[in-house]
Amino acid sequence: MYRSGAFVAEHVDPTTDAQRQPNGVDLTVEAVFEPNEPGRIGRDGKRIGDRDALDPAADGPDAAEVAGGGDDGTAVYRLPPGGYVVRYGETVAIPEGHVGFIYPRSSLLRNACMLETAVWDAGYEGKGEGLLEVYHDVEIEAGARIAQFVLAEADHEGTYDGSYQGENV
């Protein structure tokens, strides 16, 4: 059974009232990265390929040409079609007896974008990342809500203690 948004909010920091939904909590964009080198997933380990952090320039003469800069001075990522890694702005902690899932907000889908992620095991804590697939040019403001994080009750043996524990915090 999925838990209420109020319960989920107890395990996400920081949150605002606008992020709390009936069945989860919206996650925001903290950073966007573009992969620039192959990674490797083997039977005995993994290597994440290098990636470039994109700059959502808010000011300066080249802001509109580089990566962003809205009319009101906000930082904006202007993304052409491609695959990007998005880091969420909130730290989550998956409590005992639960599993976490992240779904794209419908406005992301309606703008020809998809957000892919993996299962978040009980015991995981950190600022996670997801794969943002862009199928048509889009502008995403830094700090915009792009995903909804939900928790479901789940049986499990042990808790997460992998290499991503505490990531990006």
How do the domains of the chain map onto residue ranges?
5-38+76-153
pLDDT digits (tens, 9 = 90+) for 56-109: 865 433 434 444 455 566 799 999 999 999 999 999 999 999 999 999 999 999
How many Å apart are CA 144 and CA 92, to the nearest integer? Answer: 17
The dihedral formed by the CA atoms of 18, 89, 132 and 80, expressed in degrees to the nearest 10: 90
Question: Band of the pLDDT at 28, cuts 50, 70, 90?
Answer: very high
CATH 2.70.40.10 is right for the domain spanning 5-38+76-153: yes
Stated pTM of the model: 0.88
For the ranges 48-52, 68-72, 157-161, the lowest mean pLDDT is seen at 68-72
